Structures are given as structure tokens and as C-alpha cells.
Amino acid sequence: MGEPLNVGIIGCGAIVAQYLKTLPSLESVNLRAVADLDFSRAEAVAASQEGVRALTVDELLVDPGIDTVLNLTIPAAHAEVAKRAIAAGKHVYGEKPLAANTSEAQEVLALADEAGVRVGCAPDTVLGTGIQTARDAIDRGLIGRPISASATMVTPGHERWHPNPDFYYVPGGGPLLDMGPYYVTALVTLLGPVTSVIGAASHTRDERTIGGGPRAGETVPVSIDTHVTGVLVHESGALSTLIMSFDAVQTRASNIEVHGEWASLTVPDPNYFDGEVSICDLENREQSTWKVLPTSAGYIGAGRGYGLADMALTPSGMEHRANGQLAYHVLDVMESLLRAASSGSTESVGSTAERPRSVPLRSLTELASSTPR
């Protein structure tokens, strides 16, 4: 690629606002049109953006002036929209997860490979200074050989703030498939691919009450587990413990910690692009002295859409960082963990992925005007 992408967004729900904060600043991404099954939502977004048209989904997919679809639909529609875009000869970059299941995701990747188009997928938060500074510390040997990591996400449930939370509590939803992509992608970025998993899961309530919006007070049935925990065995031998919950109230645990032979790291929330990375080494262990590391890697001031810009700027023959194979591996890890929780047995992870290239420390201006190293 290596040249600007003319982008059409399909799906104008809540997440689109975060992309609209970033896309106008990226010279490698030209937003041309938006579409939604609810055409009024597309019209509202188009009206807020200079030079952007509101189209139907069908119109956007056949528009010759659009070469890339930014797929912001609900997870259940990710694969269908991606396949239609690929059939129209367009690149696809989507919100996480890549698809509702690995079978659909595999079909998307196979069709893209046959059509010669690229597939990218969120989360791109791992490209920011938070996760990348932690990775740089590991790569420079500051903690010695990585031994283990822990990742914890605890919330009492998205129905407290989301006006239509139904999809979080049916198959394809839940804390692991919703928030897990941020944490598992971060763990793979830090420690490499996963080969096997063990796990357990539970749920505490059979229904949830919507907290606000036009449906406030309405109950939503729960048909899946809403607390998932597991251990991921990385190819490197490191072990990551994962806790994802829509049941618990709060935690004081670090979002992510990584432990090595010589030192431990605290890693910021992978749902965001920045944040402090702290280190405690053997010399300071007794005093529990943690030192904040200087920012040393990652896209400075990043926001949602940087993964799309990275895809645009990555030359042909080189894999962009937030790529489809990485997203597929992350989905495979999560599916395998849910199977392990159900069976009570260790599950092998059939896929693998290259640990994405690190991101050198660079500014917004540099990203918009340069080619990735």
C-alpha cells in the first residue's frame, strides 16, 4: 500500500465518535462516506464531517471512490460486512473481534487472500505509547527472561451505561469476547503467541437491568457466562493469568503486570493508548520501590484509527501491525479458553501469529507523513 486510503464507514453506532476524533488528523486516511442500516444515523454523522456523504450500505459497497471499508457494525455482523466488502474488491479494517467465531474469521481471511486485499482489525490501542513502552522494556532485557503476566478486567456490567446492552449477554458477547481482545492482543504483543489454555467460567445473574437511556429499567436475559478466568501458555514458555468479569464490582489489581527474572512491570490499561509503565527490580524489591519508565516507544497522541493509518502506510510485501492474522489468533485464543472453561481440560490453540513489529517513538505528524520502519 503506502498511499492514502479512501475510506467508507459502515456502522454509525456509539464507537464511530471515537474514530471521528482521529481520522480527520490522519493524512493517510480520507473519510469519504458513511452508511448504517438506520440511514438517519448515517446522515447525522455525515452532517458533522465536511465532505462526507451519507449512503446506504449497498451504495457504499459499490462506490468506486471508496477502496477501504471501516467496519464498525456489531460483532455478529462483522464477518458478513467484511465478506461483502472483500467481494467488492475493497480492503477491510474492522472493530474487534474479527468475527463472531473463528470459522467465520477464517473465511474472511481466505477470501481476502484470494482477492488480494488487506484485512486489519482493532484493537490498535497496543500501538500507543503505553503498551509499546512496556514492550520496549521487555525487548531491551530490563526484566530479564519473561516468566509470567497477569491481566485483570473487572466491571459490574455494561448495562449500567449502555442503552442497548443485549448483545453483551448472548453467545458472541460476554466479558472475554468484548474486552478480551484488548488484553489478549496486549499479551501477545508483549510475550508472543499462545499455544494452549486452561480455564473456568461462571455467571451470577440470569438477567440484567438497563441503567439509563430510553430503555432504563428494562431487563435483559443473560444466556452466557459473565466471569471468565484462565491461564494462557505462550510459545515462549511464559504463563499469563487472565480474569475477565462483568460480575465483580471493582479491583485494585494492575490492568496488566509482567514478571521477569530480574524485574516486574506494571502495564497501563490496554483499552487506552497511553499510560505509565512502572518497573520494580530485585534491588528495590524489599522497599517495593516502583520507578516510572520514560516513554520510549509507540505512536504519541494516538487514537482509534491509528491501526487503519498504519495499514495505509505499510508498503506492499510488509505486514501491517493490526493485521487480520493477529486478530484471528486472538479470537482463537479466546474461543479456546471458553472451550477449556466448558470442558475442564487443556485446549490447544491451533493458530499462531507473528508478534507484530514494534512501533518506534513517533508523533502524529511523523505518522501522517512517513512510511513505517
Q: Each residue of 325-355: pLDDT tens digit?
A: 999 999 999 999 999 999 999 999 999 999 9
> Residue 367 has what pLDDT?
55
> Residue 372 has what pLDDT?
41
| pLDDT-derived band at 131, boundaries 50, 70, 90 | very high
Q: How far is CA 307 from CA 58, 106, 269, 372, in A?
A: 25, 20, 18, 12
> Residue 364 has what pLDDT?
59
| pLDDT-derived band at 317, boundaries 50, 70, 90 | confident
Closest CA to 194 of 295, 62, 334: 334
Average pLDDT, integer, range 101-119: 97
Q: Does the global pTM surpass 0.85? A: yes
Please report the domains of the chain, with CATH numbers, ordered by start residue. 5-121 (3.40.50.720), 126-292 (3.30.360.10)
Q: Report whether pLDDT(23) > 70.
A: yes
Q: Each residue of 196-214: pLDDT tens digit?
A: 999 999 999 999 999 999 9
Mean pLDDT of the chain: 94
> Residue 7 has what pLDDT?
98
Query: What b/e string do you get for 315-354 counting C-beta neighbours within 10 Å, with b at 16 or more?
Result: eeeeebbbbbbbbbbbbbbbbbbbebbeeeeebebebebe
